[in-house]
């Protein structure tokens, strides 16, 4: 049980899935997916830290920055590894699309295979900063898992807000505390 909330556990083939709100991870994580935009602004920390860089160097870096393609994953830093799922383009209205979420999920699974990631935290992409329904996000996740398999992945923490926890678990097929599904 997670502090301040509940969790639902189920199996998708050999994959253990825990649907739980954010906070303390239910198991050790190798990577965490962040819902982000082409310039990686949405997942940036809200605090501003002083920099020793010259203003001209900062402005040059901004001018020379290249946006990521929607539907891709950009690996960040840290432990656990940050994987930025690029599902938003802030120059578009709406800023997200089903296709970009679908492509980003496939890109996440490719990164899992390439980096031999065994445990990952994954928000319901498209629902964090976009208007995608929980049901649709989970449908795309299940399709990606069925199409590409989970590779070395053993555990997935599906991060769902407390207010949408039951909905997310129900859409994943977790009717009780633990349930098995085949991929």
DSSP character at residue 96: B
At residue 4, the pLDDT reads: 43
Cα 24 to Cα 33: distance, rounded to the nearest angstrom = 15
Nearest residue to 20 (alpha-carbon basis) of 32, 10, 8: 8
3-state helix, strand, coil in the chain (%, to 5): 30, 25, 45
CA-nearest of 22, 10, 24 to 164 is 22
pLDDT tens by residue, the chain, 183 residues? 333 457 888 888 888 989 998 889 999 999 999 999 999 999 987 777 788 888 888 788 878 889 999 999 999 989 999 999 999 999 999 999 999 999 999 999 999 999 999 999 999 999 999 999 999 999 999 889 888 777 899 999 999 887 777 788 777 775 444 444 445
Q: Which of 83, 92, 86, 91 is nearest to 70 (CA)?
A: 86
* Residue ranges covered by each domain of the chain: 8-43+57-176
Cβ atoms 162, 125 nearer than 8 A: no
- Fold exhibited by the domain 8-43+57-176: 3.40.220
Rounded Cα distance, 77 and 171, in Å:
32
Nearest Cα residue to 26 out of 142, 155, 115: 155
Q: What is the DSSP string of 6-23?
A: --EEEEETTEEEEEE-SS
């Amino acid at each position: 049980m997670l502090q301040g909330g509940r969790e639902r556990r189920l199996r998708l083939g050999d994959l253990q899935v825990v649907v739980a709100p954010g906070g303390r991870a239910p198991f050790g994580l190798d990577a965490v997916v962040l819902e982000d935009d082409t310039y990686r602004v949405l997942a940036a920390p809200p605090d501003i830290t002083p920099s020793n860089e010259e203003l001209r160097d900062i402005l040059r870096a901004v001018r020379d920055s290249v946006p990521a393609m929607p539907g891709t994953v950009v690996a960040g830093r840290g432990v656990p590894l940050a994987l930025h799922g690029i599902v938003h383009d802030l120059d578009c209205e709406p800023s997200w699309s089903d296709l970009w979420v679908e492509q980003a999920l496939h890109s996440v699974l490719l990164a899992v295979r390439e980096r031999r990631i065994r445990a990952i935290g994954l928000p319901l992409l498209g629902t964090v900063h976009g208007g995608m329904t929980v049901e649709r996000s989970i449908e795309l996740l299940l399709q990606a898992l069925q199409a590409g398999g989970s590779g070395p992945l053993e555990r997935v923490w599906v991060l769902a807000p407390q207010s949408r926890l039951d909905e997310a678990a129900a859409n994943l097929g977790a009717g009780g505390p633990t349930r098995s599904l085949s991929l």
